[in-house]
Structure 1
Amino acid sequence: MFTFVTRPVPCLFVALMALGLGACATSEPPVNRVQENVVDKLTFSGEWYSLQTVIDAPYGAGYTFVGEQGSLEKIEWEIQERFLLARRSFEHIAGSEPQGLAGETEENAAVAVYAIESHFDIRRQYNPVTGEESNVVYEDTQDRPWHQRKYMRVDWSKNLITDNSFLVLAKLFDGIDTEPVSYYVQNLDA
């Protein structure tokens, strides 16, 4: 016949060891692989105001001065796959916009166009077989179509519209021609 003798001290020791080892399993802090200049697409909803202003000019410039401004535009943003467009939210001259095929007014004139580098979602990496998430946060560019993704990265260094009315007097009298030039000051300390 078998007799079991219960000893409270070894059983208690085994139970405490099991609890102690379970506490050793800590989660790793997240590893963020998301690059800078992330913009949430919801930021571009509603109407905005846009104003070009000269913030620096050479001393001998006869065609402009610091503080010169273009015209104030009321704009709405349009997000496309490759471009971010800033369109006037009103007709510049009432009745001047052409009528479309359905009798609706066509899109208003674009006042600025910027290249979109990528559309993505920010999420944790996961094992595609088990679905278990890891501690790595990354830019997901594959799970959903571009127009359903939440974030994008815009190249703000260059407005792709070259013909605008800013500095029109310099164009007329000094023969100055304007074109977009890539220039973007990035804050790496943020």
Structure 2
Amino acid sequence: MRLFLLSLCLWIGVAHSAPILVFGDSLSAAYGLEEEQGWAWLLKSRLQSNGDDREVINLSVSGETTGGGLARLPDALARYQPSIVVLELGANDGLRGLSPARMQANLSRMIESAQAIDAQVLVLGMRLPPSYGKRYVDRFEATYPRLAEQHQVALMPFMLAPLGVDESLFQDDRLHPTADAQPILLDAIWPFLAPLL
């Protein structure tokens, strides 16, 4: 009995310390900022202030598409064995006019890979400007809720929603959030992430 309790305590300790993997593009890679200013880095500080000692591993890459993410994810899962995967990809597929069906297939395979190692998944959804055409925009944006329903994963419908149209919260390119916007993003992501912790 004592050996069982010791094993249980060790298992709980390992499970609790399994990291959170943030896997996205420039929006999560703190593009144009110092790494410490990005929302993923700020998440690490928030966890610590809540007494949660797990690491936040940010493997986001500027310019990443879902195809690139799909190629990289298996090695990341094998190396870090995360308990939670925050998946923030698709914006670059949309901006390049890539197939929404292919994007959905790539994201679906990434979710399945994470779930195969018992990691929980939070998907951060994206939207496109109307200039891409209603048909394409509708197909793109429908991808995220469809994936959440299919795989029963948590979904934040639009990551940048809390920033609205406030241009002061975006860098000069009008695409990437400023340092001042990062805590706002974290505050908005937190209610979707906290139930998974």
TM-score by length of 1: 0.20
Q: Which has more helix, going by share of residues?
A: 2
TM-score by length of 2: 0.20
Q: Which structure would you say has the larger Rg?
A: 1
